[in-house]
C-alpha cells in the first residue's frame, strides 16, 4: 500500500510537469523507461522531472519523453501512471507508431534501418558466438583427434556460418516486411540474389572469373550474384515492398493473386540487375572501402576518434545507421572492427559514472542513480548512465569520451575484431574474434576504459569543484561591493505602499518594508536578479535572496494559503538562479476572487544586506531600492 501511494505521488508529479494528461498522446514502457508521446514538448519541465523520486534521468527522443526508472520499477509505476492519466492501455509498438508519425525524414530513415536489423541481430549473435567458440576449440589437439568432439565442433561450425551465407536474403526479407510488403516476396527476391546459376560475387577479380553477360537492348548485364550485398538487399527490400503495395492496390481482385506477385518479383529482378544492383554494389564498395581505409590509413588516430565520439552519436540516435555498415563489413570481410570500439566507448562512460559517484559518494541520490546505471552499462545498456548522470552533468560525458578514445587506441594495438555485432560490454565477449588473444585483450581494453573513465571524471570533477568554489568566493566578494539594487514590480497593476494593504500584518510593516500591487496580469516575474530560496508548498509565495544578501518575499493574494495551491502554477524551484524579468509564478485571478480572496500581492524586504537600507517610492518605475547607507 505504501508503494502504491508513492507511485501515485510520482505519477501526479510527472503529470504536473508535462502539461497534464491532456498533453499526452500515448504512453507505454520498455525494460527500463516510461515512454510518453506528447503533443507539445515545450510544456515539459525536465529539471523538475529529474528531481522526482525514483526517476534516474529523463530525455526527449523525437516526440517521446523517456523517463528512466529501472527494470521492475517502471512496470509498477506505469500501471499507476496509466490509471492517473486515464490512458488507454497501449503497447510499446503503439507508442512507437504514434511517435513515428511526428518524425522528420532523416529520423524515419534511421528508424527504418534500425527496425530492419532488430529482427536479424539475434541470428547474427548466435552465429557469431558459435563461430568464436568453434574457432577457439579448433586449436586444441583433443578436438582434432577425438572423432566425437570433432563432429560436435564441425556441426557447430556449420550452424555458425549458415546465417552469413544467406545474409542478403534475410535482409531483403526483413526490409520488405518493415516497409509493408509481403515478406515471402522478399525471400524470393533474396534467393534470386544468391541463385547458384550466377557467378559468385566473392570470385570477382580472381583468375578465370568469366560470368555470363546478357545483352538487353544494348545494355550489357553481368550475371553475378550478390553475396555480401547488404546495401543492395536493403534497397531491394524497399523496392519489393513498394511494388507489392502498388500492385495490390491497382490490380483488380479477380486476377490479383496471380498477377500482383508475378509483376512484383519480375520487375524487382529486372531492377536488381539493371539499376539497383550496380548502384548498390558501388555504394557497398564505398562504405566498406571507406571504413577499411580509415582503419588502415588513419590507424590508431581513426580508432581513437571513433571510440571517443561514438557515444555522442548514440545520443543523437544516428548510431542505428552503423548497423548496415557493420553488416556489410561482416558480409565482405568476415570481421567487424567497429563493435569492439563501440563497446569500449560504452564501458568508458560507465567508468565516468563511477568517477562521478566517488565525487559524491555521500549523496544517497547519486548512489541510487549511478550504481545501477553502471550495472546496466556492464550489460550493454547505456541510457541510464548517459541521460541520468553523464549528459546531465556534462563533465562526466567528456571524461567518458576521452577514456573511450584511450581505450580505442588499445583496440587498434591489440587488433581486436568481432565475428558479429549487436552485443557489447560483458555480452560482447561472446562474439569477439579469439585470434590475437582476443578474449584476454577484450577484457584488458575494457578495464582500461573503466579505469580511465574513473580517473578522468574524478580529476575533472575535482578541478571543476575547485573552480566553482573560487567563483563563489569571487561572487561573494563582488556582492559585498554592490552599492544599490533596484527592484521592479513583479506584475503589471496599481502599485501602492505596503502600509495601505488590507492585511494588517503586512500594513504594519512588522514583516518588513515594501509595496503592494493590485495585479491586472496573472504571471509574476523576478523583481531583480536573485536566487530562489523558498517556494511555498501552496505555491502562493516565493522567497528570494538578492545579490547583496537581502531577502524579499513575494506573497500572491491575501489568505490564498487556504487554496492549497489551486489556481497557482510555479515556474521555478528552490535553489534556482533567476534574472530580473524571469517568470516565477502564475496566479489565476478569477479563481482567487471566486474563492473570496483579494488578489492584492505584497513584495516585502524581510532582511537587508549588511549596512544597507530600503527606500520605497510607489510612484517610481523601480518602487523598491536597496542601497548602502
What pLDDT, on a 0 to 100 scale, did the predictor assign at position 385? Answer: 81
Provide the grid cell at 149.
568432439
> How many CB atoms sit inside 10 A of residue 192's CB?
19
Q: How far is CA 60 from CA 57, 335, 493, in A?
A: 11, 35, 39
Whether the Cβ atoms of residue 34 and residue 78 lie closer than 8 Å to each other: yes
Place of cell 509498438: 93
Active site residue 30: yes
The mean pLDDT of 128-139, rounded to a whole number, is: 79
- Give Cβ neighbours of residue 418 (< 8 Å, ≥ 6 apart): 128, 335, 336, 337, 339, 340, 428, 431, 432, 433
Calpha distance 295→131 (Å, rounded): 24
Asked whether residue 312 carries a pLDDT value surpassing 60, the answer given is: yes
Q: What value does the CA radius of gyration of the chain take, rounded to a whole number of Å?
A: 32
> Which burial class, exposed, middle or buried, applies to 331 when counting CB atoms under 10 A from its CB (0-12, 13-18, 19+)?
buried
What pLDDT, on a 0 to 100 scale, did the predictor assign at position 247? Answer: 94
**Closest alpha carbon to 621 in 487, 498, 483, 485:** 487
Asked whether residue 408 carries a pLDDT value surpassing 90, the answer given is: yes
Calpha distance 489→474 (Å, rounded): 29
State the DSSP code for 51. Answer: T
Left (φ > 0), alpha (ψ -120 to 50) or beta: where does 299 sit? left
Asked whether residue 8 carries a pLDDT value surpassing 70, the answer given is: yes
* pLDDT band at residue 262 using 50, 70 and 90 as cut-offs: very high
Asked whether residue 296 carries a pLDDT value surpassing 80, the answer given is: no
What pLDDT, on a 0 to 100 scale, did the predictor assign at position 341? Answer: 93
Calpha distance 113→395 (Å, rounded): 32
- Summarize pLDDT for 188-235 with one digit per residue, the tens: 999 999 998 898 887 776 777 788 888 888 888 889 888 878 888 999
State the DSSP code for 224. Answer: B
Provide the grid cell at 496.
501602492
What pLDDT, on a 0 to 100 scale, did the predictor assign at position 321? Answer: 67
Q: pTM above the 0.75 mark?
A: no
Q: How far is CA 51 from CA 133, 258, 369, in A?
A: 46, 61, 11
Of residues 189 and 381, more confidently modeled? 189
> How many CB atoms sit inside 10 A of residue 523's CB?
15
Asked whether residue 151 carries a pLDDT value surpassing 60, the answer given is: yes
Provide the grid cell at 548.
547583496
What pLDDT, on a 0 to 100 scale, did the predictor assign at position 209? Answer: 77
Place of cell 542505428: 320
Whether the Cβ atoms of residue 67 and residue 36 lie closer than 8 Å to each other: yes
The mean pLDDT of 121-144, rounded to a whole number, is: 80
Calpha distance 484→494 (Å, rounded): 24
- Summarize pLDDT for 533-563 with one digit per residue, the tens: 888 888 889 999 888 888 999 999 998 888 8
Q: Which of 31-35, 152-156, 465-469 has the lowest mean pLDDT?
A: 465-469
Asked whether residue 476 carries a pLDDT value surpassing 90, the answer given is: no
Of residues 259 and 367, more confidently modeled? 259
Calpha distance 20→293 (Å, rounded): 52
State the sign of the Cα–Cα–Cα–Cα dihedral 185, 188, 194, 195: negative
Asked whether residue 62 carries a pLDDT value surpassing 80, the answer given is: no
* pLDDT band at residue 169 using 50, 70 and 90 as cut-offs: very high
Bridge partner residues of 554 (DSSP): 542, 603
Question: Helix or strand or coil: residue 390?
Answer: helix
State the sign of the Cα–Cα–Cα–Cα dihedral 395, 401, 402, 403: positive
* pLDDT band at residue 518 using 50, 70 and 90 as cut-offs: very high
Written as one string, the DSSP assignment of 177-221 is HHTTS-HHHHHHHHHHHT-TTSBPGGGTTSTT----EEEETTEEE
> How many CB atoms sit inside 10 A of residue 154's CB?
13
Provide the grid cell at 588.
489565476
**Closest alpha carbon to 271 in 312, 296, 237, 321:** 237
* pLDDT band at residue 282 using 50, 70 and 90 as cut-offs: confident
What angle do the packed helices 322-333 and 277-293 form, to 10 degrees? 90
Mean pLDDT comparison of 142-156, 368-382, 441-455, 478-492, highest-scoring range:
441-455
* pLDDT band at residue 470 using 50, 70 and 90 as cut-offs: low
Question: What DSSP element (H or E) covers 66?
Answer: strand 64-68
Amino acid at each position: 500500500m505504501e508503494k502504491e501511494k508513492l507511485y501515485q505521488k510520482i505519477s501526479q508529479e510527472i503529470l504536473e510537469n508535462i502539461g497534464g494528461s491532456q498533453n499526452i498522446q500515448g504512453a507505454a514502457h520498455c525494460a527500463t523507461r516510461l515512454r510518453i508521446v506528447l503533443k507539445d514538448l515545450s510544456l515539459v519541465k525536465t529539471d523538475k522531472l529529474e528531481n522526482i523520486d525514483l526517476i534516474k534521468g529523463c530525455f526527449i527522443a523525437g516526440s517521446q519523453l523517456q523517463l528512466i526508472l529501472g527494470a521492475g520499477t517502471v512496470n509498477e509505476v506505469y500501471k499507476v501512471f496509466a490509471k492517473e492519466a486515464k490512458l488507454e492501455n497501449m503497447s510499446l509498438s503503439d507508442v512507437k507508431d504514434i511517435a513515428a508519425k511526428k518524425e522528420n525524414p532523416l529520423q524515419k530513415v534511421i528508424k527504418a534501418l534500425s527496425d530492419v536489423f532488430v529482427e536479424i541481430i539475434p541470428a547474427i549473435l548466435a552465429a557469431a558466438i558459435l563461430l568464436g567458440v568453434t574457432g577457439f576449440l579448433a586449436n586444441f589437439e583433443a578436438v582434432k583427434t577425438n572423432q566425437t568432439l570433432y563432429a560436435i565442433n564441425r556441426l557447430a561450425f556449420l550452424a555458425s556460418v549458415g546465417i552469413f551465407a544467406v545474409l542478403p536474403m534475410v535482409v531483403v526479407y526483413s526490409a520488405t516486411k518493415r516497409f509493408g510488403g509481403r515478406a515471402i516476396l522478399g525471400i524470393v527476391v533474396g534467393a534470386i540474389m544468391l541463385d547458384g546459376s550466377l557467378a559468385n560475387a566473392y570470385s570477382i577479380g580472381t583468375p578465370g572469373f568469366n560470368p555470363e553477360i546478357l545483352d538487353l537492348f544494348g545494355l550489357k548485364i553481368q550475371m553475378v550474384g550478390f553475396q555480401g550485398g547488404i546495401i543492395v538487399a536493403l534497397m531491394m527490400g524497399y523496392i519489393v515492398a513498394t511494388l507489392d503495395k502498388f500492385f495490390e492496390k491497382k490490380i483488380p481482385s479477380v486476377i490479383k493473386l496471380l498477377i500482383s506477385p508475378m509483376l512484383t518479383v519480375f520487375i524487382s529482378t529486372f531492377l536488381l540487375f539493371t539499376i539497383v544492383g550496380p548502384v548498390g554494389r558501388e555504394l557497398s564498395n564505398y562504405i566498406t572501402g571507406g571504413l577499411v581505409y580509415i582503419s588502415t590509413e588513419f590507424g590508431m588516430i581513426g580508432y581513437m576518434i571513433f571510440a571517443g565520439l561514438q557515444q555522442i552519436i548514440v545520443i543523437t540516435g544516428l548510431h542505428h545507421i552503423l548497423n548496415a555498415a557493420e553488416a556489410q563489413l561482416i558480409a565482405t570481410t568476415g570481421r567487424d572492427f567497429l563493435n569492439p570500439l563501440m563497446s569500449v566507448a560504452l564501458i568508458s562512460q560507465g567508468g565516468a559514472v563511477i568517477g562521478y559517484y566517488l565525487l559524491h559518494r555521500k549523496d544517497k541520490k547519486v548512489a541510487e542513480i549511478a550504481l545501477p546505471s553502471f550495472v546496466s552499462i556492464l550489460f550493454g545498456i547505456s541510457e541510464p548512465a548517459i541521460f541520468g548522470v553523464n549528459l546531465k552533468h556534462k563533465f562526466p560525458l567528456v571524461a567518458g569520451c576521452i577514456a573511450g578514445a584511450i581505450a580505442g587506441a588499445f583496440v587498434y594495438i591489440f587488433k581486436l575484431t568481432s565475428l558479429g555485432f549487436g552485443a557489447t560490454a560483458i555480452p560482447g565477449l561472446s562474439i569477439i574474434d579469439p585470434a590475437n588473444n582476443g578474449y584476454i585483450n577484450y577484457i584488458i581494453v575494457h578495464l582500461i576504459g573503466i579505469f580511465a573513465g574513473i580517473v578522468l571524471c574524478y580529476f575533472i570533477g575535482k578541478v571543476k569543484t575547485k573552480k566553482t568554489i573560487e567563483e563563489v568566493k569571487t561572487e561573494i566578494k563582488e556582492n559585498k561591493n554592490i552599492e544599490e539594487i533596484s527592484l521592479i514590480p513583479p506584475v503589471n497593476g496599481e502599485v501602492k505602499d505596503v502600509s495601505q494593504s488590507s492585511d494588517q500584518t503586512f500594513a504594519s510593516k512588522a514583516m518588513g518594508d515594501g509595496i503592494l500591487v493590485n495585479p491586472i496580469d496573472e504571471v509574476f516575474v523576478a523583481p531583480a536578479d536573485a536566487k530562489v530560496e523558498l517556494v511555498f508548498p501552496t505555491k502562493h509565495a516565493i522567497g528570494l535572496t538578492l545579490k547583496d544578501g537581502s531577502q524579499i518575499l513575494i506573497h500572491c493574494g491575501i489568505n490564498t494559503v487556504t487554496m492549497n495551491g489551486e489556481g497557482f502554477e510555479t515556474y521555478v524551484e528552490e535553489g534556482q538562479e533567476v534574472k530580473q524579468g524571469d517568470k516565477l509564478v502564475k496566479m489565476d485571478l478569477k479563481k482567487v476572487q471566486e474563492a473570496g480572496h483579494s488578489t492584492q500581492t505584497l513584495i516585502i524586504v524581510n532582511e537587508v544586506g549588511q549596512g544597507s537600507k530600503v527606500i520605497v517610492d510607489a510612484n517610481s518605475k523601480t518602487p523598491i531600492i536597496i542601497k548602502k547607507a
